[in-house]
Structure formats: C-alpha cells, structure tokens
Structure 1
Amino acid sequence: MADEDRQVAQDAPHDGVGHRARLRQKLAQAGGEALHDHELIEYLLALAIPRRDTKPLAKELIRTFGGIGGLMSADWAAIARVPGMGDTSVAAIKIVQATALRMLRNEVAARPVLGSWQALLDYLRADMAFLGVERVRVLHLNSRNMLIRDDHMGDGSIDQAAIYVREVIKRAIDFGSAALILVHNHPSGSPEPSRQDIDVTRQIIDAGKRLGISVHDHIIIGAQGHVSLRAKGLL
C-alpha cells in the first residue's frame, strides 16, 4: 500500500468536501489568480487523494521546494521523498508540469523563434529556472529560424555542466541546422554569465562560421531572471 493510501486510511473525516467546494467555486468564478499557490497544489492533490485534507501537505511541498516553480521542476524522486506523497500524487504534479511545458513548447515551435522571443523565454524559464543542477540545451533552427530540434545535451552538477564545442557542431551538421541558440541554467539563481560561459560561446561561434552555422544567442536562465549574451554585447 502506498504511503498516501495508508494516510487516507488513518485520516479522520473533516470538512474537506466543503473546503474543496469553496476552492472550486473560487476557481470557477475568479480563475486561478484568485487562489494562493498552496491552494492550487492543495486542490490538485485533492483530486489524487480524495479523502484526505491536502492543505498541510500542499504547504509542506511549497516550503520544501521554495515555491510552486521549484515544486513543479523537482524530479520525481525528490517529490516522492516528502512524507505523504505517493506515486499517484507525484504523477498529478508532474502531469501538470508536462502539460504546461508542452503548451509553451508548441507556442515556440509554431512560428519563427526570433519573432516570438518572449514565448521562448517563457518556455525556458518554466523548464529550467528552478532546476537543482545545470542543464544544457541547444535549440536548432532552419534557415527560416523555425525550431527543428530542442536538443537536451545533458545535465551536470549543481554548479557546472559541460558544453563540448565539437559535439554541438556535430549535432548541428546531423540535424541540418542553419542556426543555433545555446541555453543553460544557473541553479544559484543568478543568470550572470561566467568567463567560461563567454569563452565556450565564442568557440562555438568560430567553429560554426566555418560551416555556415550561425549562433544567434546564448541564453542563461536563473530563478532571478535571464541574461542574453547577445543583448549584453558579449558575442
């Protein structure tokens, strides 16, 4: 029996039905903005654990992961370690994240990336801003600047993930890319580029020029915002 199922069996009846009805009414009448972060998670968990008061668990999840963004981007195992969370509850959270990311990614793929920059930033922030490790991805574009591949190159440690120039260029050739946008996150929260970030970007630019592959930008994502190396004049 899963932890959440054991907990359900132990919990006494409470005013959960009436409370959930009030949350549902608030959602229906005023939309999601009318609910606090913990109330959004509380109602979501109530669908997965219908006979339990999920408010304390929702508040604990928000506290543990530092907010709703951190919770949604946390990996399955980390969420499951919170007492009271079983596979059904974790799946409820991860399916919401997957749905949101799919919607945002579809917005990016629907039109030229350079003409939908905010949609791209929204997608990258939702996926990477609250990760606990560095993630490197390369966005491959065709000659019309349409996204042809969102390439997850790998994850690293809490403060470093390797970007290999040869591997980036090799994959660009394999995909027939005309241009690239490099992306990685800083788990520290600050998106300010390091000397290494700038140097490896310039190495990839130089390697790509010989093959007619442009590098439009290198975007660094953090919980505190984002930095475009091109906008800062560093490319």
Structure 2
Amino acid sequence: VAFLVAYQQNKQLIGDKGLLPCKLYLQSVKRYFKGKIGLDALSFAPTIIWFLEWSDMDGILDGISVLGLMISAFVLVTGCANMILMALLWILYLSLVNVGQIWYSFGWESQLLETGFLGIFLCPLWTLSRLPSSTPPSRIVIWGFRWLLFRIMLGAGLIKIRGDRCWRELTCMDYHYETQPVPNPIAYFMHRSPWWFHRFETLFNHFIELVVPFFVFLGRRMCIVHGVLQILFQ
C-alpha cells in the first residue's frame, strides 16, 4: 500500500515539477556538505537516489515505487520472503522517506520503517522456503515487535493527554466528527450521540491507548486480548 501510494502521488509532491522537488532538496544537502556526497551527506539523508542520475527524477521515483510494489506484492501473494527481499524493501522505502520532506514526516512512516527493519530478521537469509518449526524466529525479534507496538499505542495516548486539555476533560469527541479528515457513513450519527456517549468514547480511547498496551507483557492470553482490542479499536 505504501509503495502504491508513493507511485500515485510522489511526482506531484517531490517530482521534477512537484511542490517540494526532492532534486532541490538533495542539491541543498550537497551544498551544505561542500558539494561532496560522502558519509556526512549519506547519514543526513540516506537514500539510493544519491547514486543515480538526476536528469529524470520522476522516472527514478516511479522506478523505486514500482520495484517496491512488485517485491512487496510477491511477498504478499506467495507468502515467501527472505532477508534479502525484506532488506531491499526497507532500503527502497527508506530512500523515499528521506527525500519526502514534510510529506513523509508523519510518525507512521518511521514506524513502518521500523516494522520493516524488524521484519528482515523474521525470514531465512536467502531461501524462500518457510522456516522449520525447529528454528523459529529469535525471541529478540518477537519482543522487538511487541516493544514497537507498545510504544506506538502508549505514545498515542500520552501525546493526547499532554497535548490538549479536552482529552483530560473528556470533551474531545464532542466535536471530533466535525473535523475528522476521512469521515465514514456513520460519522454523522455518531456526532449526534448524547453527551454521555461521547464521554464514554474518550474514556474508552484512554483505556485502549494507556492501559491495554501493558497487556502485551502479561502472557499469551493477555497478548491475545490485547490484539483483539487493538484490532477492534482500529
């Protein structure tokens, strides 16, 4: 989905005639580091675009998106992957995020990259066959995913508590449906719910984001409860 979205919108956002052309961005980074594409420039903006010809940036952006789309579709459809394919997907998307500027500054981009990086270590090194049951993925990787999910949800709850007093006063849902960016067919009816229902919605949000994340550390059954609640919440 991320690569498909990139293919649909990157030319308009960061292409040759985009709102914030990534070629200009990379040129400014290059000037900042005295015209050299060295370790400093690579660490500031890690992207494989540094090593490509910039005369057709639209083609480069499309090429990265299409290649990522093809590989990820193969993994999705066949259920087969290895560390090489997963690492390549991570490098391709990292290359887009690091030239995407404000268009790729939303927190989900870095979280998708972190998820993808952990995904590299779930797979065999080069074979596309499934891992034998006698050699499951490392517990370190599994706990890495759990820690990531814990941080995402707890952070979402804490930023609300700190960011706006309506979350502390339980009034945010009074007007949420008037301003939500992607309303759904029942949003109108939810908005017209009684005041006590809106208070319940806000409390339930706090429960899901501030309490339920801790379930991931309380054993398998609570992990399952955690998963079901998070999926229903989304």
Higher helix share: 2
Higher strand share: 1
Give the TM-score normalised by the residue count of structure 2. 0.27
